[in-house]
Each structure stands twice: as structure tokens, then as C-alpha cells.
Amino acid sequence: MFKSLDIGIDLGTANVLVFIKGKGVVLNEPSVVALDRDTNKVVAIGEEARRMLGRTPGNIVAIRPLREGVIADYDTTESMLRHFIQKVAGKSLFFKPRIMVCIPSGVTTVEQRAVLEATIQAGASKTYLIEEPLAAALGAGLNIAEPYGSMVVDIGGGTTDVAVLSLGGIVVSDSLRIGGDKFDDSLIRYVKKEYNVLIGERTAEEIKISVATVSKTGRNEAIEIRGRDLVSGLPKTLRITSAETREALAEVTQAIVERVKYVLEHTPPELAADIIDRGIVMTGGGAMVNGLDKVIQEATGITTYLAENPLECVALGTGKALEDIEKLQDSLTSLQKASAAK
């Protein structure tokens, strides 16, 4: 008797992670697709396409088909999903897999349907959607089935989801279309404004990982970067410090802190008391920005900590949700539910 394959997908703006039941996270690749402009054919997907960002000849363009957590280019997203599903499950699927995909908590029913249909077209027999904070909480090892409040702040590439969970569902949540990409954009803008030098996405990412901090008590380091001088048009080398990055990232950091405070203000008092005891858990790649947990802790007065494996939390959570699909049925969306909601 063959058993159908269960696959969980964290369909992120920056990265796609794929979880296979019984194997764990088997794929983690950038959500980037390289297309030939002349023929509109896919040239490369994932890591291979990411290496082409900002370095392609005129006829090849490297794009991100997802923006701010939702599908910006339907056909390209479908091609990317099909590629990743075939990569982990093999091209000749005897049984089509059941697939669970994560979505930000604030997406519309139209956006939900786009994800569901793209996944079915990419080769799923049945598709479920799970909201990112719910998957992140499960992946972080929180027992959300209990009648106690847990709080998760999931910062992905394109969105930040803040949610209070209890009894297997989301009690209060809010989604902000700001994530790790906005940190990169802020660094690009800062360098342009202060130094009249243009840097690319990959350089901004390097600054963010190597020296950036958002806390006054965060790290104090410096990095040499290269960009294009906007006055002379020639390459230029600069030195950027952690203190400068804190200034550059202040606005984005404040927006995330305000959203956390907003959710706390709308949390029932009993659950708020639980959160004070249990603390706030941070997940997602964007949560790894140096000092962000400290800033949230200072602003709320509640212990804030990074989950054990923040990058994989959402993908791991989809795996746990697939195992407990009956218990979580009310918190999931399938194509039938999305059709009924139209």
C-alpha cells in the first residue's frame, strides 16, 4: 500500500523552504527566478537564479515572483513551485502529494486562492493554507493547544506577522507588509542619501548580516563595501559602521515595535497575563537582525527571545500541522473553503 507524500512549504518572499514528513526540511532556496525576456522562458530557479541578481545580461532578468508575502507574478510562482516540488519529490510522482503552504495572516481571499491554485497547478492533490504565526508557533515548539496565551512575532522577507494564540488558534493578530527586505531597502537608501553611492541588494544583505544592529547596546563593528558613486559614475569603497545602520533601520524597527504593542493592547487580559509569564517568541529570518529582540523587550517590558531555529520555524510548523491536520482543521484553508468564501 503506497502512502501519499505530505509536503509543507514556507512560501516566503525571500526564501522557499520545503518540509517532507519523516525527513524534515529538505530544501531551502531563494525565491528568485531568472527569465529570458525575449522568449519568456525560465532560465534558472532558486540559488542559481539568486547568483544572477544584479549581474544578468540585457535579455535575462532575475525576479522575485512574491512581493510582501503574496504572489506578484502568478505564472512564475507556479513554475517555481513546480520546480521545487519536483526537486524534492521526483519528476514522476505516482501519487500527487498533499501540500500545506504558509501565508501571512493579513492576506485577502483572492490572494489565498492564488496560492491554492498555483500549488494545485504545480502538482498537489490537495492543498491547505496555514497562517504563518500559527505555523511559526508550532515550529518553535509552543504548545498552542492549551488554554494559555502564547505570542509570536514572525518576521519574514516581506511581512511581519504578530499573533497571540490559544486553544490551537489565533486570538488576536496583525500583519505588516514590512520584513527583512525593508531592512535592506533602508540600508540602500541610507548609503545613497549619506554618501551618494548606490549599492545593490546583495551588498545591503551583507551589511545587515555582518554589522547591522537596531539596539543602542548592540554590536559595534564596521564593514568595507563597494558601490557606484552617483556623481562620478565610478566604483567606490566605503566603510559602514553598526551605529550608522541603527540610524538607517530606525524607522522599520519602530513600525514593527508599534505593531507588537498594538496586538498586546488588543489581547484579552487573561492571555496578556500568560504572555508576561511565557514571554514573546521571535521567528523568521528578519528576527535575527542584531538587537531586535532587545528593542521589543525594552518597549513592552516582556521577556523576548529568539526561537531555537528561527529560519526554519515556519517550515517545521507546517510539518507538525500536517501531522495534526484533524485537530487544526478549523484554522486551515483549503480550495473548497476559499471557493465558499467568494
For the stretch 199-208, pLDDT in tens is 998 899 999 9
Higher confidence at residue 128 or residue 250?
Answer: 250
Top mean pLDDT of 210-214, 315-319, 321-325 is at: 210-214
Top mean pLDDT of 23-27, 82-86, 280-284 is at: 280-284
The partner residues of 168 in beta bridges, in order of sequence, read: none
The answer, yes or no, to whether residue 96 has pLDDT greater than 70, is yes
Burial of 38 (0-12, 13-18, 19+ CB in 10 A): exposed
* Span 133-169, pLDDT tens digits: 999 999 999 988 889 999 999 999 889 999 999 988 8
Which residue in this structure is represented by grid cell 523552504?
17
The partner residues of 151 in beta bridges, in order of sequence, read: 164, 280
The domains located in the chain, with CATH, are 6-134+314-341 (3.30.420.40), 142-178+251-310 (3.30.420.40), 180-249 (3.90.640.10)
User: Which letter does DSSP use for residue 241 in this model?
Assistant: E
* Span 165-176, pLDDT tens digits: 998 889 999 999
Q: Residue 228: how many CA atoms within 13 Å on its side-chain side?
A: 5
Where are any strands of DSSP class E within the chain? Answer: 6-11, 15-20, 24-30, 33-36, 42-45, 60-63, 66-67, 70-71, 98-103, 126-131, 150-155, 160-166, 169-176, 197-198, 222-229, 235-241, 280-283, 304-306, 333-334
320, three cell numbers:
507538525
The answer, yes or no, to whether residue 321 has pLDDT greater than 50, is yes
Higher confidence at residue 127 or residue 56?
Answer: 127
Which among 154, 184, 173 has a CA at the least distance from the CA of 252?
184
235, three cell numbers:
566604483
The answer, yes or no, to whether residue 2 has pLDDT greater than 50, is no
Whole-angstrom Cα distance, residue 39 to residue 31? 21
The per-residue pLDDT of the chain, averaged, comes to: 89
Whole-angstrom Cα distance, residue 8 to residue 27? 11
Higher confidence at residue 39 or residue 243?
Answer: 243
Between the CA of residue 147 and those of 89, 150, 260, what are the distances in Å?
A: 38, 10, 21
Where are the alpha helices (H) located in 122-200, listed in sequence order?
132-139, 180-195
Which among 197, 135, 144, 202 has a CA at the least distance from the CA of 171?
144
Higher confidence at residue 183 or residue 96?
Answer: 183
